[in-house]
Amino acid sequence: MAIPGILVKIIETKKREVAELETRRQQIIQDAKAVTRMPIDFKNALTCGGLAVISEVKKASPSAGVICENFQPVDIARSYEDGGATAISVLTDIDYFQGHPDYLKAIRQEVKLPLLRKDFIIDELQIYEALTLGADTFLLIVAILTPERLKELIELGLQLGMTPLVEIHDEEELKIALAAGAEIIGINNRDLRNFTVDMGLTAKLSPLVPENCILIGESGIKSVEDAKGLRESGCTGILIGETLVREGLEYCGAMIAKMREC
């Protein structure tokens, strides 16, 4: 998939962020090596029965704008855990999704579920930083990485005990992900070139995903019926954010519980 304009802007921002991290390279790696907490086995958590629901703590996005005005990330995460979520995805991108690395650190102190760092990861320092912040895994997006870089970052994650979620959008990206050693494949139903959503994409690509890989459906999930459709398409789990945040603290748990039963 050709990289669209918004992703080009995001990647340039990430390069600047990584350049700043580079000034603290040795300290970041030392901090990560000093972490005594073993990452929770994300891959195993996804296969513990029912539809796995990775619930996302999300304030805003380039396509939807601000989703939650009164954004309380820790309270949202607690509601997800109480509702039976399998894992929690935490957006740490500041400029485009109004997230923050500190949200991940704060949530780690309050919940026991596996935590996924959701960001545009292009460099190993972001992975070391994720471990230090309390993440158990992280997202890699095939569209923004070379095959060689993707393989390196997957291998680093596995060495650290963090099996990454590798996101693809078409058959070619799936081939690249598999060749790089991806064990958990996320099919993004949203086309990042124009933000349109095709909920049939997962059903189209899922037969091409080997049985030894875990398949996650991402984006465009508005209802329990959508979740059920992805389950029927072969997904072990789903990643859902905007819909749960819009449900609010009082009701998101009930939706998660229903989705888990799919």
For the stretch 173-197, pLDDT in tens is 999 999 999 999 999 998 776 778 8
From 13-17, 64-68, 82-86, 194-198, the region with the lowest mean pLDDT: 194-198
Domain extent at residue 125? 5-34+41-260
Question: Taking the CB of residue 8, how many other CB atoms lie within 10 A of it?
Answer: 11
Nearest to 92 by CA among 102, 82, 84: 102
**pLDDT above 90: percentage of residues in the chain:** 91
Nearest to 231 by CA among 190, 259, 207: 259
Domain count, the chain: 1
pLDDT at 3: 53
Residue tagged 């991940």 (tokens): 104
The full length of the chain comes to: 262
Residue pLDDT, tens place only, 216-226? 999 999 999 99
Contact 117, 141 (CB under 8 A): no
Nearest to 216 by CA among 56, 91, 77, 31: 56
Contact 132, 32 (CB under 8 A): yes
Nearest to 190 by CA among 219, 170, 165, 216: 219
3-class SS at 165? strand
Residues with a catalytic annotation lie at 56, 58, 118, 167, 188, 218-219
User: Domain containing 132 — which CATH number?
Assistant: 3.20.20.70
Question: How far apart are alpha carbons 82 and 260 in whole angstroms?
Answer: 13
According to DSSP, the β-strands at 237-240 and 137-141 are unpaired
